[in-house]
Structure 1
């Protein structure tokens, strides 16, 4: 049978039908002081039947609907007058209680205000009587509201009576005492509630509503026109929201325990990490200290050890000397005898020579020897004198006359040299000053250029460097501490005044601007550092009041850098401190109390100033502005000029130093000349002539006698032999003397060694002296140790030992410092564990005890506890959570199956019905959550569970999102609500299938692309299934306890006749009571399917009336009026 063929009309609703209507249905609705239903009680009688509520637009139909929703839903969920298309907050609970019905203005230009029918102190009641014919039970719901003030929310309470009540009988004759009304109701057995939640729980029990979503669906049904998105509708209206908060809290609780256990492991590991360096460095310090003690012992035994070696070597050498002394004594006796014989022989020969004329020759030989020495000295003096005289401009001393002339000229030469030296020294001093000035200027220019190239301002480099130090010390960005000059410049139109402005504003431009935020840090840093310079900084308040500069003042000629946050402050400072009138003439200058000339003369408070120490046009000293290209160019030019002057001064100094060097040499040569007292000391020519005369005389004597020649030759030979014998004897005597001295010294040295060893004997504790032998051999290199070099080798070994001691002491000191630093770090980080420990080397053993306790006991215990908490608590909780969510997933699949059973009994089109089809969502966050949840629990049940930091990190990442990460709390809350709501794991679509074969006819995820009638039809079908499911009426006996009342506001009236008939038939099959709200012009579509009509009228706009008629009465009256 087609759906159209099976439509029901009023005639179908027989007495038998009425007797079988199951569930609680609305029989009567009463309103008192609700909206424009004012003063008296208005009653709408439905008698459990499908009813129509109609009337003109604005008559109060939506007011009735909102009364019903207020009775069944919390006010915070209701969007009042939504079905009529009202804007949100257009109506409220207070607007209904006060009876706001229009807006009016109290006067011209006033804002319009709502006009109320009732003032504070009145009360309103909405009452609904629900009856279950099958169970023969009646339940009355009521809400009583009253306003205590003009605005806000009205005060209210709720009541439930098991039986029939009315406003007249139950809510009148109590005055304004609401407490009295409550007591009376309670005395009558009525349940009274102050909060909606308890009231709702009670009436849901009465009506058999088990689903938390049932009333939400009831509310949505009021204004639902079509199902735009099937997934959203199914999730919202057919599937219950799960309470996962408790499970997540349990998981967080277990994770907190796990986190504590994990933190204990990490804490123990960290303590071990910090204590191991304490142990290692303390052990290193101990080893180095031991090595130092050993080396110190070796150094203390160094002197006795080398003294012993020196004693042994000295005694051995003394014995050798004693044996040599015997041999040398015999040799000495023989040489003494030989010398005596030769001496006698030579004396005899000389007697014979004298007797033969040899005396004069001997005298000549003596004189010639003396004159040869004298002649050599004279030649050297003559050479030196002649060279000095030539350099000084004098003559070579050829004779006494020239010598005397040179002596007379010498004072003049000396005076001339002195004067020249004085002149050159003066020139050098001047050039040296010029060079220093040029060098200093070039250095300053280079430094300034280097600084300017790295910035844009014109400030002096030293001042920028000072700010950099300040910012580095305080951590403040340089951009937040500008100098005033960086933010100011002379306007281009006022370029002629630039020099005067620069000079006047120079001090202010070099002032640092410091905001209130940075003032404490800057003032502290400046006070605690020696700046070695002058710094001025100005405190900038939070809200300075800018001053606008007057025309033709200095302040008015200054521009401020765009975008700076210091603009208001700078305007204030400029306007207050630099409001000098810029005067073109001196007459104007004298006229104004604060004035400035273009040449830089400044006047203020009677004080006049003009500072011309620097040229007004010297742009290299300008500091205003944020573009330094011009200053860089000028500094480069100034640098080139300074470097040119530096080169000129350096070259001049080089020439003068060369001249001064020559003068110095000449002055020294004057001393060479004056040192010669007489010409005779230079006259080597005369001495040479005398020597020639004597040589001639000797030759004549020698050639006069052959006997004399023979005797002379024998004398020469004997004299040679004697000289050799004397040389040998002298050498032998020296040797003997040396041996004697050495023997004596050795004897004394041996005695000293013995005395030293007696005072500091050699000891060999712990076998450390073997090392001294090794050190000594290393110091000897290729030498051999003797009694003479023991001191030298001892010094080398001592140096090496001292170096080793110094190195060991340094290393031990560093090890001690490192140990104490690590101890201090541990005590600072873990004060509770180290309260009784000092950061000293003596406490190293106690620190090591803590370390051993951690390694041997604490860490294994913490790790075991962590493993137990991870695997037996947290992971199990996650597994249980996962299992719960999976069971909910299965419940949803089952729930959709149950809904599909209801849908299968509804013929959607001839021979076809609708089925909902769930699919796993493709949402990335939901799918990733499922993967992360499985990853946390995989490999944990039944496995040989090992400590797993990775597993902990997986769990932590998930749990911290449940908890809400810092800065991401809102995002994580939304994520948690989304991914743990199993409804979001599915998307839903509808499939229209052939009932006989189960084949799919059409598949759709929403009603897009459908005609208006098709959209409405799909909406009614899914809505009916949802209502059947949520109200628990999908199956079961007709007399079951269930809620069967549904309000549909204007939906049927706006749809097609065919879809409306389909919907009404569908709701009839489900045995639902419909209250259909529609305007008058739509009644003809609905009236065949209703039994009662409520007609709302509001002709005056402030007093809505409600008239009750049966459908028969309505038709009869309509026919009378039409005839």
Structure 2
């Protein structure tokens, strides 16, 4: 860029090479400086001095405008803001550009500002040149202009410039003459032209060693007007310590969580999709196969089945005929042999019988009489046995002679009359006793079944409701465990057990309400709506994500209940209980009227509108019927006691019924027996004793005849044996003949049947049909004979129909499961559905393929990416934040040590040095965060191998991220406590003597005298600036040296001022000071140059000028101004 002879006035650097110092300040039309001013600045600093109001502060403000962002510029810093009525910002950039030089009142007594450059377009420019004394020179330029007569800052336009090397501001005059043609200027004078102040300040900071420290910039602005730092701890925190890098590390961590959370959602989505579609492949296969089976069975049920069964029948007939032919041939041979044996046995018997007839005619006659006598004995004994049984039934002794027989017959009318009376007495009672016994048995069986069901199901829900839920779950294709009753998730708090009876009464209906997840709403609704539920069904849909549940008010029924918060419906249910069951719990009914809704310990409920209700039905008062809670022990004990009581009641009722029934049957038996006994009119028909004696006489006669003729006895024995042999052979022959006759008849019938069957179509030529029908026939396990065709046909048809119906049922079931899964998928992920029509036949194969793709590719990829990100990105980024927190703390301590090293080189008071002391107390939040990080790092290896632990790792990460992103007051406090390491430090100043003993402790500068304040402020400023700008490689000297001090040390004596200036000098700062002439003697040892500023006022305005001078030039002026009070 262009340079002028003024640059020749800037000498070679002799101190602190590599440190950026101000070497030149140029202004055009700045305040009362009209036109162009070019001021070289000596490497050891410059003193702007002159009379009060001459424009010293204007030059300081010019440097602020080119160096600092607007909020740190602090124009007219020499003004005492502690004076009553004083205010910050009384000067503005617009005032400087217009050249405001006085303020008067107009004719209406309103304030009127007079400008040097008012009423027309005008412009101002400032340039500050910085050099490091080695090879780097940067000129920063800020140009401001009005294109019209405006005076407000909003109308100002700005151009920022950064040039390598020197730039003469006069090059802007042509730009102004060209009506502020910025485009032309940028093309003519290439340089860096930032488009905003932030970009300008950022780039300038990089070039001149300021870096990105906002605190350093702010502190440079504050230093101009720093009169008092107040609380040292707050000053050091706010002015020495930049926002630590932990906030950036936290943001990077949060940025890493965003893709991790997306990866988790992708994996969760894939897992959820796989779960919804898990049964689709199997159901799709079952749907297609059952459809094929149904169609095949339906096709075969007609003529194909008839032909196949006929073919089976023909085969069975042929096999049976072959077996029958063999059997007939065998029996024909046997019959010939039996015929021969029959003739031989018959001939032997006839011969012996004729011989016996000739020789034993008398014996035969006695035998005939014996046979007749024996038959009479048997008849009388049979009649007597019947008689004796009847007599025993009426409870009388059985007569054994005619006299007792007659006596009993005379007694029978009285027995009958008494029995009829007993029957008339018993009969009315039988029905009631039997009904009571049956009711007792039914009650016992019902409770016993309920107890068995409870022990098996481990649920307090009644069997009817449990069966109804199972029916709904099966029909809707939903797991029973996903449809809990509200009562299964609710229980009475252990400390409030006395309120269980009341809670059971009030919550009975609500407890038997099904809780349906929103994901299953459609399937459950459709099934319930399309089917008869055989009773009342109430259900509530539980949203997928529940808001924070309302807390139950203390003292209400809801507050005495607990909810299973581990269940997904728990939070929602807790909110429902808090809202629905806000009944105030009172001890007695007298307290009910004090509340809108309330319930007593005994279960009386008061409802709005002075409505009262108490339900003491046994189902609500019996502990065996309680439904609340998942612990069945109390209900099991109650049911066991109830079952035992009902068993005893049933036993007693049954015993009473049995006893009465026994009496009734005895009476009926007596009536029946007595009535039959009246039919026995003669003793002769019962007297088997006399008949036995007669038969015995005939038997003795036969024995006598046989004893008298031994040959006759032998002949009789031989005839008997021959007769037995003949009869046996005859029977065998007859059996064979009958069997052969039946077999030949069967053979004829089967032959006719075979002829008829083979005349009709039989068998099937379709291999697939035959294979399926063979399978059906084999599964029947039914033996086929020629005679059971009808049975086989019926069984075969039924089996085919059963298979057809079973296939159709399987097909419908598979269809329902497919449709439910597809509809759920389309509803939740329409963008991922291969087909959104819901048509199972059209889209079933696509969804089965989608499930296979999810299992094979999508889910493993998503889980792999999720695992990789949480292991390789997220956990390390959290660990990086932890290290950033530790590093920030170490950095603070390291830099404080470096600052203290600089302070130790300058005496604060004779023989003492000021040091910055601190106490570090990390808050509990930091320890909590460190514990979380340690846990994440500890579990990282296991999480790589175990999906469940990986998910747990993510949940911990997500909970941690929530703490960092939530915007409530507690979360913000926690976040700041963890990230802002500065808050864990308490800073204060200590003054140490030569022996390192603490002489004084400083916590607030306001408590010191004016001079002591300014010295302490100076030391604190030096420490703060050194902290932010120091270069650790150059013994703590700052990268950027210029330090502006406007009217500093106005209250200090010479000793205090020199000590303060020595501190700045020792730390390596280049002081740019605006001060009255009387201070020049004190400043001379620390300043390399003087610029004398004066101002002349004419009718057309005030104009300031600035010229270089020497300290010796100021000596005559010091006397004239010694008594003046500076106030620029």
Counterpart-to-counterpart distance in 2, 1:643 and 1:912: 97
Secondary structure of 1:390's match? Answer: coil
Residue in structure 2 matched with residue 456 of structure 1 by the alignment = 499
- 1:846 paired to 2:872: no
Are 1:333 and 2:339 counterparts? yes
Cα distance in 2, alignment partners of residues 1000 and 465 from structure 1: 84
| Cα offset, 1:809, TM superposition | 8.1
1:237 pairs, out of 220, 236, 239, with: 239
Matched, 1:311 2:317: yes
Alpha carbons 1:962, 1:973 under 8 Å: kept: no
* Equivalent of 1:410 in 415, 425, 428: 415
Deviation of 1:643 (Å): 12
What is the Cα deviation at residue 194 of structure 1?
3.8
Distance 1:705 1:126, change over 3 A: closer
Contact 1:52 1:1075 in 2 (8 A): no
Say which SS state the counterpart of residue 838 (structure 2) adopts: coil
Look up the SS of the partner of 1:838 in the other structure.
Answer: coil
Please name the residue that 1:1021 is paired with: 1019
Matched with 1:167 is 102
C-alpha separation between the residues in 1 aligned to 2:962 and 2:555?
Answer: 48
> Residue 731 of structure 1: CA displacement?
2.6
SS in 1 for 2:499: coil
**Counterparts of residues 929-1078 of structure 1 (less than 5 Å):** 967-968=966-967, 1007=1002, 1017-1024=1015-1022, 1044-1046=1044-1046, 1059=1056, 1062-1063=1059-1060, 1073=1073
Matching residue of 2:374: 369
Change (3 A) 1:475 1:746: same
Partner of 1:321: 327
Q: Is the 8 A contact 2:276 2:821 kept in 1?
A: yes
Check whether the contact 2:249–2:881 (CA below 8 A) recurs between aligned residues.
Answer: yes
1:801: how far off? 11
What's the counterpart of residue 115 of structure 1? none
CA drift of 1:365 comes to 2.9
Is the counterpart of residue 278 in structure 1 residue 280 in structure 2? Answer: yes
Secondary structure of the residue aligned to 1:730 is helix
Q: Are the equivalent residues in 2 in contact too, given 1:251–1:874 (CA < 8 A)?
A: yes
Distance 1:198 1:681, change over 3 A: farther
Residues 901, 429 of structure 1: alpha-carbon distance in 2 compared, 3 angstrom cutoff: closer
Query: In 1, are the aligned partners of 2:278 and 2:851 still within 8 Å (CA)?
Result: yes
Give the Cα–Cα distance (whole angstroms) in 1 for the partners of residues 242 and 551 of structure 2: 58
1:238-317 matches, cutoff 5 A: 238=240, 267=269, 271=273, 275=277, 277-283=279-285, 307=313, 310-311=316-317, 313-317=319-323
8 Å CA contact 2:900, 2:915 repeated in 1: yes
**Structure 2 vs 1, CA of residues 647 and 723 (structure 1 numbering), >3 Å: closer, same or farther?**
closer
Check the 8 A contact 1:397/1:403 in 2, yes or no. Answer: no
Could you list the per-position Cα deviations for residues 648-697 of structure 1 after superposition, in whole angstroms to 9, with x for gaps in the alignment?
Answer: 99869845752551342133122123213554565466443245346536
Preserved CA contact (<8 Å) 2:103 2:114: no
Give CA deviations for 1:261-319 in whole Å, capped at 9, x if unaligned.
77557655765665565335534666788899999999979956864664354123212
**How far off its partner does 1:827 sit?**
2.5
Q: Compared with structure 1, are the counterparts of its residues 434 and 316 closer, same or farther at alpha carbon in structure 2 (3 Å cutoff)?
A: closer
Q: Where do 1:466-865 residues align within 5 Å? A: 466-469=509-512, 473=539, 558=591, 654=655, 657-679=658-680, 683=684, 686-693=687-694, 695-696=696-697, 714=715, 717-749=718-750, 751-752=752-753, 759-761=761-763, 765=767, 818-832=817-831, 833-836=833-836, 838=838, 840=840, 843-850=843-850
Give the Å deviation of 1:951.
Answer: 12
For each residue in 1:499-540, what CA deviation from the matched residue of structure 2 results, as whole angstroms up to 9, or x when unmatched? xxxxxxxxxxxxxxxxxx999989xx9xxxxxxxxxxx9999
Change (3 A) 1:785 1:815: same
Pair 1:465-2:508 in alignment: yes
What is the CA distance between 1:790 and its match in structure 2? Answer: 12
Classify the secondary structure of the residue corresponding to 1:166: strand
Is the CA contact (8 Å cut-off) linking 1:310 and 1:786 kept in structure 2?
yes
Deviations 1:893-949 (A, max 9, x none): 999999899869855466997798999997898899999999999xxxxxxxxxx99
- Distance in 2 (alpha carbons) for counterparts of 1:874 and 1:749: 88
Specify whether residues 693 and 821 from structure 1 end up closer, same or farther in structure 2 by C-alpha distance, changes over 3 A only: same
Asked whether the 8 Å contact 1:962–1:976 carries over to 2, the reply is no
Give the distance between the partners of 2:769 and 2:237, measured in 1 at CA. 92
Aligned residue for 1:761, secondary structure, equals coil
Tell me, what secondary structure is at the counterpart of 1:379?
Answer: helix
Distance 2:593 2:221 in 1: 67
Shift of 1:746: 4.5
TM-score (norm 1): 0.52
Counterpart CA distance in 2 for 1:404 and 1:1074 is 158
**1:387–1:967 CA distance, 2 compared to 1 (3 A):** same
- CA 1:1058–1:558 in 2, change beyond 3 Å: closer, same or farther? same
Matched residue, 1:547: none
Find the aligned partners of 1:792 and 1:575 in 2 and give their Cα distance: 72
Cα pair 1:979 1:985 within 8 Å, conserved: no
The SS at the match of 2:323 is helix
Question: Which one is further off, 639-648 or 404-413?
Answer: 639-648
Distance 1:663 1:934 in 2: 88
Q: Is the 8 A contact 1:964 1:970 kept in 2?
A: no
CA RMSD between the two structures: 8.5
- Stretch of structure 1 that moved more, 400-409 or 195-204: 195-204
Contact 1:282/1:841 (CA < 8 Å) preserved in 2?
A: no
Q: Please state how far the C-alpha of 1:409 moved relative to its aligned partner.
A: 2.5
Counterparts of 1:642 and 1:867, CA distance in 2: 57
| Change over 3 Å in CA distance of 1:564–1:1022 after alignment to 2 | farther
Task: Tell me, yes or no, if the aligned pair for 2:988 and 2:1001 is still in contact at 8 Å.
Answer: yes
Q: For structure 1, list consecutive stretches of 5 or more residues without a partner in the other structure.
A: 1-19, 31-46, 54-68, 98-123, 128-140, 143-157, 488-516, 526-536, 545-554, 580-613, 615-619, 622-638, 938-947, 1077-1084, 1092-1109, 1119-1123
Matches for 1:23-102 after TM superposition, within 5 Å: 49=49
CA 1:1042–1:858: 2 relative to 1, 3 Å: same
Tell me the CA shift for residue 740 of structure 1.
Answer: 1.9
Query: TM-score under structure 2 normalisation?
Result: 0.52
Cα deviation digits, residues 373-415 of structure 1 (max 9, x gap): 2122132033123313435999997455314312342342233
Task: Supply the distance in 2 between the matched residues of 1:1028 and 1:882 (Cα, whole angstroms).
Answer: 27
Unpaired stretches in structure 2, ≥5 consecutive residues = 1-21, 33-46, 54-63, 125-144, 146-150, 162-196, 452-459, 461-490, 516-538, 543-548, 560-571, 623-639, 938-946, 1077-1081, 1091-1116
Question: CA–CA distance in 2 between the matches of 1:762 and 1:798?
Answer: 16
Superposed, 1:858-877 pairs within 5 Å as: none
Deviations 1:572-595 (A, max 9, x none): 99999699xxxxxxxxxxxxxxxx
CA contact (8 A) 2:264 2:866 kept: yes
Q: Is the 1:389–1:395 contact (alpha carbons within 8 Å) kept by the matching residues of 2?
A: no
